[in-house]
Chains A and B, each alone.
Chain A
Amino acid sequence: NLTTTRSSTSAIRCHFYLTLGNMKALILVGGYGTRLRPLTLSRPKPLVEFANKPIVLHQIEALVAAGVTQVVLAVSYHAEQMEQELAQEAQKLGIRITFSLEEEPLGTAGPIKLAQSILASNDEPFFVLNSDVICDFPFTQMVKFHKQHGREGTIVVTKVEEPSKYGVVIYDETGKIDRFVEKPQEFVSNKINAGMYIFNPSVLKRIECRPMSIEKEVFPYMAGDGQLYAQELHGFWMDIGQPKDFLTGMCLFLNSCKLNNSAKLYKGPGVVGNVLVDSSAKIGKNCRIGPNVTIGPDVVIEDGVCIKRCTILRGATIRSHTWLENCIIGWKCIVGQWVRMENVSVLGEDVIVKDELYVNGGMVLPHKSIGASVLEPKIIM
Chain B
Amino acid sequence: MMLKAVILIGGPQKGTRFRPLSLDVPKPLFPVAGLPMVQHHIEACASVPDIREILLLGYFPAQQLQQFVADMIAAYKIRIRYLQEYQALGTAGGIYHFRDQISSGNPDAFFVLNGDVCGDFPLQEILNFHTSLSTPSLITIMGTEATRQQSTMYGCIVEDKETHQILHYVEKPSTFVSNLINCGVYICSPDIFKRVGEIFNSRQDFYSCEDSEGTESIQLEQDILMPIAGTGQAYVYTTDRWWSQIKTAGSAIYANRHYLQLYHKTKNERLAVNGPDKPTIIGDVYIHPTATVDPSALLGPNVSVGKNAVIGAGVRIRESIILGNTTIQEHSCVLYTVVGWNSTVGAWTRLEGTPCDPNPNKPFAKMDNVPLFNAEGKLNPSITILGCNVTVPSEVIVLNSIVLPYKDLPRSYKNEIIL
Contact = CB atoms under 8 A, between A and B. Distances in A.
Interface of A: 286, 288, 303-304, 306, 320-321, 323, 325, 337-338, 340, 342, 356, 358, 373, 375
Given A304-B330, A304-B331, A375-B399, A320 B318 contact: no
B348 A323 contact: yes
B316 A321 contact: yes
A50 B314 CA distance: 32
A358 B381 CA distance: 15
A358 B313 contact: no
Interface in B303-338: 313-314, 316, 318, 330-331, 333, 335
Contacts of A358: 350, 352, 397, 399
Contacts of A303: 314
Contact of A337 (B316, B352, B414): B316
A373 B314 CA distance: 21
Given A286-B313, A358-B352, A306 B397 contact: no
A340 B350 contact: yes
A42 B347 CA distance: 35
B333 A304 contact: no
Contact of B314 (A304, A342, A356): A304
Contact of B395 (A304, A323, A338, A373): A323
A358 B316 CA distance: 14
Given A306-B348, A323-B348, A356 B331 contact: no
Contact of A306 (B318, B395, B414): B395
B397 A321 contact: no
Contacts of B399: 358, 375
Contact of B335 (A288, A320, A323, A356): A356
Given A306-B348, A358-B350, A320 B333 contact: no
Contacts of A342: 397
Chain B interface mostly helix, strand, loop or mixed? strand
B263 to A, nearest CB: 25
Contacts of B331: 286, 304, 306, 321, 323, 338
Contacts of B397: 340, 342, 358
Given A286-B313, A337-B316, A323 B350 contact: yes
3 residue pairs, one from A and one from B, having the closest CB atoms: A321-B331, A338-B333, A323-B348
Contacts of B395: 306, 323, 325
Given A306-B331, A358-B350, 14 more contacts: A288-B348, A303-B314, A304-B313, A304-B330, A320-B314, A321-B314, A340-B333, A342-B397, A356-B316, A356-B318, A356-B333, A358-B397, A358-B399, A373-B352
A303 B316 CA distance: 14
A303 B296 CA distance: 11
Nearest to A376: B414
Interface in B86-113: none
Contacts of A286: 313-314, 330-331
Contacts of A320: 314
A229 B314 CA distance: 59
Contacts of A337: 316
Contacts of A306: 331, 347-348, 395
Interface string B340-365: 00000001101010000000000000
A339 B158 CA distance: 51
A320 B280 CA distance: 15
Contacts of B347: 306
Contacts of A356: 316, 318, 333, 335
Nearest to B412: A342
7 contacts: A304-B331, A321-B348, A325-B395, A338-B333, A356-B316, A358-B350, A375-B414
Nearest to B330: A304
B55 to A, nearest CB: 45
Contacts of A323: 331, 348, 350, 395
B350 to A, nearest CB: 5
A338 B331 CA distance: 7
